[in-house]
Structure formats: C-alpha cells, structure tokens
Amino acid sequence: MWTARSVSTAQIQLLELKEGRLCSSILSKNQQFWTGILNCFTLRAPYDRAKCQVSKVNENQSVIDTAVAISAEGTKRTSGNSPSGEYDGKQHTLEGKMKHVNLSFASCGFLGIYHLGAAAALYRHGKKLLKVVKDFAGASAGSLAATVLLAVPENIEKCQRFTYEFAEEVRKLDFGAVTPGYDFMKRLREGIESILPSNAHEIAENRLYVSVTNVRNGKNYLFSNFASREDLIKKWVDGGITNGLPILPFGRTITISPFSGRLDICPQDKGRVDLYVKFAKQDIMLSLANLVRLNQAMFPPNQEKMESLYQNGFDDAVHFLLKENWFE
C-alpha cells in the first residue's frame, strides 16, 4: 500500500486543545517522503528516517505529546502510555490493525449518497470492524454519513430516501441549490432533524470529529463537542472547505470518498493515468470521471444515477471489508 513520492515539503496535521475546542494546525518537513497512512493521519516518510511530534488528546481532554519515528525498514511508535514503549509497524495482524481504528467520510455534496451506500454495507457486513472503531470523522456531507452510522445506523435507509427527495427537489429548480428565494440550508436542516434523535449530540460527544473551516481566516478546526443537536447540524453546514477529509493523529483512519484516489473505500477507475491532485486535503486522481463527479457533487444527477452511486458505495465498501478480512 506504500508508494514512493518526492515532495518539497511534508504537511503533518496536529490537533491541539485551545479554549475547549480541538483545533488543527500544520507542521512542515523538507525531505523526500513515502505516501502512506500511519497512526491515523497521513505521514510522508523519508527513505531513511524522520521524526515528528504530534499531540494526542486523551479521554480527559488533556494533551499528551507523542514522539513518532518511522523508517523504510519498519515503523516504531514511542509513547508515554505504552507499556513496552514501542510498536512494531511490520506486524499486519488483524489484532494489530484493530487496536485503534477510525472512519473518515470526505466532503462531497450530493455525492453523499455514495457515503450512505458505504455506511449501509459497513452496518450490514462490517460489524466486526464497527465494534473496534474508536472515532468517526467527516466534513460537510461526510459528517452526516458519519453521524448516522455512529448514532442511528438503523436510519440509513431513511436518510437515503431523504437524499433522493432533496436531490429531486433541487433538480427542478432553475439554478439548482443557488436559485434565488430557495432556502437550501433550511430544507437541509429539516431533513436532518427528521433523521437524527434529539440526543444525537450526546452520542457523538468525543467520538465524532467534524471538520469546520473559518471562512474569515481560512483556518480549519475539528470539533468533537456539541452543545445541542442543532449545534451539531450547524457544524456540518459550515463544512470543510480546506479540509475535506479529516485524518485523526492516532490509530489508523479508514478513508471513504466518492472520488477515485489514494483512499481506502472509493471508486476504482479503469484505464486511469497515475496522476493525482490534492483537493481539500484529498489525494484524488486526475481523471475525466472525477471531473464528472465534481459536477455531480454540486448539481445532483438524475434518480437512476443517484441509485447507482449508492450501490457503488455499497459495493466498494464490501470489497474493502473482504480485502481486510472484516466481512461477515
């Protein structure tokens, strides 16, 4: 799963607790890096060795500094909380993979129907995986899928029907979601409120991380504390302009996106050229199919295509579960 890639700088995301909120920031390193997922965030490791400092927020909301060292020969993680003090990255057993697993759903507009298909597959055939998932993360539409899977997975089909109805309503408008006089956000909130229980914010507390971008300064934040269900919904609406795929800095993050790219669960385009672009922190493939998907994210396709996207999400998630020996 590792691919070599030369870059001028490496960006590592840190989570810091500031004024009761979990905030993200970026560190840089000037070296050649491998591209891969380690300790639940994307690290770019040099061919010899690199060291970085990350901050991990524990259950008491205090910050624990954790030193991370990686190399091409193997991976070792040193932590003050670890009994042995190190973790052998060569171990690829099911037990090792299950120690700390997270799920992250990418921002994708109306392509969120793909997420619902993936969520349905995880709920139906991935219970072995869901039992060990520690945290959920998402941005915009991805946050909705993450919350439904975490809080009320039995309502996935209800959310699917709402998405179909909402998309049909938007398709009938002259200018789609931006048609003058149409309150897109109000309609979205009404639909979400009909799906989530009143205590959804309590269920999501410290287990769901929502990516929010401050449009004034462009800074990105990850929120895991919500005052109410309405506050949780507002965080989704704020969305993830700068960070469309939150990667948590501890454990392994399983990434889900309707765009083909370097992700765990995503479409696998055939006959593709191995070129990638970073879009809202997603490494997506530079392809015609992805350009079509980008348009569909903003302007919902017809009902038949929406149903196909749902099925694609389901099938891609099943493929991942089979490959990782999590299917049941």
What tens digit of pLDDT does each residue of 164-173 get? 999 999 999 9
Distance, CA of 279 to chain centre: 13
Structural domain boundaries in the chain:
3-91, 101-323
Please give, one letter per residue, the 3-state secondary structure of 212-233. Answer: EECCCCCCEEEECCCCCHHHHH
Q: Look at the block and give the residue holding tokens 């959920």.
A: 136
3-state SS assignment for residue 101: strand
Q: How far apart are CA 166 and CA 303, in angstroms?
A: 11
Set 140, 224, 257, 287: catalytic member: 140
| Catalytic residue list contains 238 | yes
CA 326 vs CA 130, 166, 323: distances in Å: 9, 33, 8
What tens digit of pLDDT does each residue of 23-58 get? 544 444 333 332 232 233 333 333 333 333 333 333
Q: How far apart are CA 204 and CA 173, in angstroms?
A: 34
158, 126 Cβ separation under 8 angstroms: no
| Measured CA angle at 292 (ends 241, 115), to 5 deg | 60
Give the tokens for residue 320. 């991942």
Q: How far apart are CA 201 and CA 226, in angstroms?
A: 6
Give the tokens for residue 135. 């945290």
219, 238 Cβ separation under 8 angstroms: no
Q: How far apart are CA 311 and CA 292, in angstroms?
A: 18
DSSP state of 19: T
Output the pTM of the full model: 0.70
CA 231 vs CA 55, 104, 204, 238: distances in Å: 26, 20, 12, 11
3-state SS assignment for residue 118: helix
DSSP state of 261: B
Set 135, 238, 264, 283: catalytic member: 238
| Measured CA angle at 56 (ends 23, 75), to 5 deg | 125
Helix axes 156-171, 303-323, angle to 10 degrees: 140
| Catalytic residue list contains 140 | yes
Tens digits of pLDDT across the chain (328 residues): 333 333 333 443 444 444 444 454 444 433 333 223 223 333 333 333 333 333 333 333 333 333 333 332 333 333 333 333 333 333 334 444 457 899 999 999 999 999 999 999 999 999 999 999 999 999 989 999 999 999 999 999 999 999 999 999 999 998 888 899 999 888 998 999 999 999 999 999 999 999 988 777 778 889 999 999 988 888 776 555 678 899 998 899 999 999 999 999 999 987 656 788 888 788 899 889 999 999 999 999 999 999 999 999 999 999 999 999 999 9
| CATH ID of 101-323, from 3.40.1090, 1.10.3210, 3.30.420, 3.30.300 | 3.40.1090
